[in-house]
Amino acid sequence: FDDIEIFGPPGDDRSGLVAFNLEDVHAHDVASIVNDYGVAIRAGDHCTQPLHDVLGVGASVRASFYLYNTREEVDRLVEAIDAARQLFA
């Protein structure tokens, strides 16, 4: 999606943790909508406020993926992000 900014290393250097922002939507609003879809993510500065200051963002959304996540859960996350996009953007 062109309206999502992902923070962190590219490609193969990325771990299962993804910090991102949805353009023109506050991270806490994204997290609230995603929560309504039954998906747990975090929003805030994630104990990295100096980094957020350098990046020029007040907060970000963070999703974590691991072996226990199902494809359906990932699909629900994408659906929830799209719902936040439609509601707030």
Active site residues: 47
Query: Other CB atoms closer than 10 Å to residue 56's CB: what's the count?
Result: 6
Quick check: helix, strand or coil at residue 34?
helix
Going across the sheet that includes 17-22, the strands are 4-7, 17-22, 60-64, 42-44
DSSP state of 63: E
Contact 68, 5 (CB under 8 A): no
